[in-house]
Structure formats: C-alpha cells, structure tokens
Amino acid sequence: MDADRKAQDPTLVCTCSDLYLYQIQQAIVEGEDEYNEIMQYNDTLPRCGECQDHVDALVAASTIQYNDQPQDK
C-alpha cells in the first residue's frame, strides 16, 4: 500500500488495485459482502491485503445502514 498516495485522496481505498470508495460501495450495493468477492467484482484480486480492514468496515457500515431501514410489511 502506498500510504502517501492514499493520504492525498481520501476516496482511494486500495492503492495496489486503484479501487476507490465508490467502486467498493457499488459492489456492496450489488450484493457483494466479502473482501475477495468485492475485489473480483472490480476485476482484480487482493494483493498486499492492507485495505481489507477498510473494505470490511465499509461492508459493516452498509449492513448497519440497510438493517436500520424500516421493513415493508
């Protein structure tokens, strides 16, 4: 991971694969919730793995957000 590059752009999640926040979020919206699946959705594979915690946090936050929505009955 290139920490300097990541610090320059807060929307950059993975410097190895050039994955940005919107790409991770799109994969999550499409139903991906595993790190490896999200990488594959974006036509890449995990490399150094240092972004995994960030990706997992995005998945967890989206799950909380969706679970907080009222359920249709």
Question: Domain holding 35: CATH number?
Answer: 1.10.10
Q: Which domain holds residue 17?
A: 3-67
- Confidence at residue 34, expressed as pLDDT on a 0 to 100 scale: 96
Q: Is residue 72 part of a domain?
A: no
Q: Is residue 40 part of a domain?
A: yes
Q: Is residue 33 part of a domain?
A: yes
Provide the domain count of the chain: 1
**pLDDT per residue as tens, the chain (73 positions):** 888 888 899 999 999 999 999 999 999 999 999 999 999 999 999 999 999 999 999 999 987 765 555 555 5
- Confidence at residue 47, expressed as pLDDT on a 0 to 100 scale: 93
Please, where are the H alpha helices in the chain? 3-8, 21-29, 35-41, 52-67
Using an 8 Å Cβ cutoff, are 51 and 16 in contact? yes
- Bridge partners, residue 14, by sequence: 19
Using an 8 Å Cβ cutoff, are 17 and 54 in contact? no
- Confidence at residue 4, expressed as pLDDT on a 0 to 100 scale: 85
